[in-house]
Amino acid sequence: MTTSIIAGSKFEFSTDDTTFTEVKGIQTLPDFREESGEREVTSVSDTVRQYDNEMDSPTEQELTAFYIKSDADQLAFRTLARQKGACTIKVTYSDGETVTFEAKLKNYGIMGGDAPSTKMWACVIRRTTPIEFNEASS
């Protein structure tokens, strides 16, 4: 599931966990959330049903962007996606809050369109670590 991009947000990636590079042309940002199920652990002595959390189950998110042929940073990300590479993703929202996580990229492709639309590309992001949520101070 994706939502419209929030004006002023920034999508970045890093292959060394220190230098982040912004990817221009992002059309929509995926919903970044952690999802885990529950399993029942009620025993015969309990009077109320008891539950325990299961492991986080990262979902695959699609990232779509306008194809900017002249942008070297976007080309670097597209190349990483074509190679099914791994990176750290960092999204900074317009209010200063961030989400950061490691991910594997896959399923890169050029999206079809009709004239006179702009050429688009997409890839799938598969989160491989928990999300680090950083709330901005007000």
In the numeric block, the tokens 């990229």 are attached to: 105
Domain boundaries, the chain: 2-30+59-134
Contact (Cβ atoms closer than 8 angstroms) between residue 43 and residue 50: yes
Q: What does the pLDDT look like over 59-109, one tens digit per residue? A: 788 999 999 989 999 999 999 999 999 999 999 998 889 999 999 999 999
In the numeric block, the tokens 């912004």 are attached to: 22
In the numeric block, the tokens 């990483």 are attached to: 80
Three-class SS state of 40: strand
Quickly state the pLDDT bin for 12 (edges 50, 70, 90): very high
- At the topology level of CATH, where does 2-30+59-134 sit? Thrombin, subunit H (2.40.10)
Question: 123: which 2 tokens?
Answer: 């890839």
